[in-house]
Structure formats: C-alpha cells, structure tokens
Structure 1
Amino acid sequence: MSASVESGGSRRADAQRNRERILQAARVLVSEPGELKLNAVAKACGIGHGALYRHFPTREDLLAEVYRRDVEELIAAAPRLLATHKPLDALAAWFDRVAAYARVKRDVFAAVEAGTWRDLAAHSLGPIGEAVELLLAAGRSDGSVRADAELDARGPRLLSILGNGLRA
C-alpha cells in the first residue's frame, strides 16, 4: 500500500475523531448558560478553529447535528433496551433517556433559528413515536402494559391511564 493511501486513511480517521470530539464537546457546552460559542467548542475539544469550521461551518450546523445525534441515540436505545430488559423496565429506562434528550432539545431549540428547529422537530417526531410504540407494543404483548396504552391515547383514555398509574 502506498504511503499516500495510508496517510489518506489516517487523515479520514483523524477527521472522524475530530468530528466526534466536536459533537461531544458541543453537547456538554450547549447546556451551559449563555450562547454556545464555536471558539469554546474548539478549545474544549482541543482542535483548531479551521478543523471545527470544516466540519460545521456555522453554529446552527453544529447544533442541528448535536440534536440529530441525540434523536438517533434515543431511537436506537428502544430495541437495545428491549433486548436486555423486560418491556416495562425497558420503557422506564427509555424514559430516563427521554429526559436527557429533552434537556438537549430545549437548549438546542433555544439556540437555533425558528425554521431550523421546526425542520428538526418535523424529522424527529415520527421516529421517536415509532420507538415509543415499539416499547409499548412489547409491554402490551407480555401483559406488563395495559392493552389500551397506545401512542395516540388522548383525552379520557389518557387520563384514565395516567390516573391508574398514580393510584396507590
């Protein structure tokens, strides 16, 4: 293998590691008070500004990717949790993840333009709903979740489900 092919592969691997470090740093920093600054992200992950801007030309690009990544991780968690937990326990563990996702969502949506957050929300609602339904269906199937507990529960049925869940 030629040195140029090897160095090209190494550069791609370095670029991917940098991208991951940028996203991890941004996810942490987005929850801190004040506006997320790209300079702070670059400093936090120890890369140059040029490397950050090659991956994410704008702050919105970076924030949108942080959000997309959180949605992907949330959706992927549902079948993984079902593989290792009973359905009701998987649902509870998944809701813990939803709480963390909600904090990131709030911080990202507060920092991006309205058009961007509308687009992000529109593309995440369906897949998140599918993950919830997967967990609920598994619980309905094994009898640990009420048969009438469905994703689209509204009004009196939803209040009944919540009320019964709160009863001592």
Structure 2
Amino acid sequence: MTSLPPRRADARRSRAAILTAAVEVLDAHPDAGLAAVARAAGVTRQTIYAHFSSREHLLAAVVDRLTEQAVAAMDAVETDSGTAGDALLRLLAAGRQSTDRYPALLQQIATQPVGPDTDRLRHAPVADRIERVIRRGQRTGEFDDRLPADWLAAAVIALAHAAADHPSGIDEAVLSRTVRNTLTRTERA
C-alpha cells in the first residue's frame, strides 16, 4: 500500500488547475505574477514551482494548453465533406474561435522569444490538420500541387497569424480569399 498513485493524480489535478488559472489570470491581467496564478488555482507558489521552474516555463505550458484547445476545436470540424477549400476555412475558423477567447494572453505569448524549431513544434498539431486538407485539395485538383503541402500549410498558418496580428484586424472574408488565392493553382502566361 503506497501513496504514490494518489499523489500522481493529485499532481495532475494541481497542474491542470494551475494551467486553467494561468490562462484566465494572465489573459485578464498580463502582468500578473505567479502568486496571483497560485491564488486563482487554489495552490501555493511552491506548488507552481514544483511544476514550472519559471514564469516562462508556465507560459510555454499555457501555449501548449491553448494549442490543445485549438486542436480539439479543429478536430470537431468535418474536414471530409464539401470542398477542400471550404473544409480548410472551417478548420481555420475553429482554431481562430478557440484562440480569440484570450487576446491579451496571446499578445503576451507572441512577445516571448522562441526559436524557429520551438515555434514549428508548437504548430505541428495544427499544421498536420491543415496539411491533410491541403493534400486532399491537391489530389482533387482544387489546390496547386506544384508546391509541397507542408510548405503551403506553413504559409496558411503565417497568413492566419498575420491576419490576427494586423493592427486594424483582417476580417474572415479577406483571410478566406487570401488563403484560397494562395492555394489555388493559377496559370501564368
């Protein structure tokens, strides 16, 4: 009879509570410290440090949490029906609706320095879903098949970020048209 399994379950609950609190607190108060997150999570600062060695590590875990939420929203989208273009736009809208709930937090995360490998790894689950739809569109002739699908997925993600980060905001119709134009094969004279 050991107490190890309950501690593991308790540790998982504490980590989940910390991440949930961090998302809410840091979106409402971007400069909030770990003490505020601890209070909102119902844990001590020491408990936070047991899971995350710094605020930066906590923010990295928050990014992972938001990515998981966006991926779950994207997974709820039916990507095998309709045109690949429509499916891709539904996928992007689902991801955007998920992340748009936390504008201040996303702005704070965007200012954190990360290397290109870290950014690519963070986007991998999203890029995979986008790439699958792009490959479907390439097979059916709807999307340009002269460019690699993974490159096109990266371009779509960059367009979505650029639209979200634009100071005056880019509406869905403009983003949709831009994404379609980027992926559609056009013959040049």
If the TM-score is normalised by the length of the shorter chain, which range does it land in?
0.5 to 0.7
Equivalents in 2 of 1:160, 1:66: separation in Å?
A: 28
| Residue 22 in structure 1 maps to residue 15 in structure 2 | no
Equivalents in 1 of 2:56, 2:7: separation in Å?
A: 25
CA deviations on 1:50-92 (whole Å, 9 max, x unpaired) are 1111011200010001102222333354344237x84546842
| Residue 121 in structure 1 maps to residue 119 in structure 2 | yes
**Aligned in 2, Cα 1:106/1:135: closer, same or farther, shift over 3 Å?**
farther
Q: Which structure's residues are more often helix, by fraction?
A: 1
Amino acid at match of 1:161: R
Contact persistence 2:91–2:130 (CA under 8 A): no
| Residue 105 in structure 1 maps to residue 106 in structure 2 | yes
Q: Please, what TM-score do these two structures have when normalized by structure 1? A: 0.67
**1:166 corresponding residue in structure 2:** none
| Residue 41 in structure 1 maps to residue 37 in structure 2 | yes
CA deviations on 1:93-143 (whole Å, 9 max, x unpaired) are 552322443634332233x3x2x36553232244422211223455x49x8
Equivalents in 1 of 2:117, 2:36: separation in Å?
A: 26
Runs of 4+ in 1 over 6 A off after TM superposition: none
Equivalents in 1 of 2:33, 2:121: separation in Å?
A: 26
Unaligned ranges ≥5, structure 1: 163-168
Amino acid at match of 1:124: R
Counting matched residue pairs gives 149
Secondary structure of the residue that 1:20 maps to in structure 2? Answer: helix
**Aligned in 2, Cα 1:135/1:75: closer, same or farther, shift over 3 Å?**
farther
Unaligned ranges ≥5, structure 2: 157-176, 182-189
**1:57 corresponding residue in structure 2:** 53
- Aligned-pair Cα RMSD in Å: 3.5
**1:78 corresponding residue in structure 2:** 74
**Aligned in 2, Cα 1:27/1:120: closer, same or farther, shift over 3 Å?**
farther
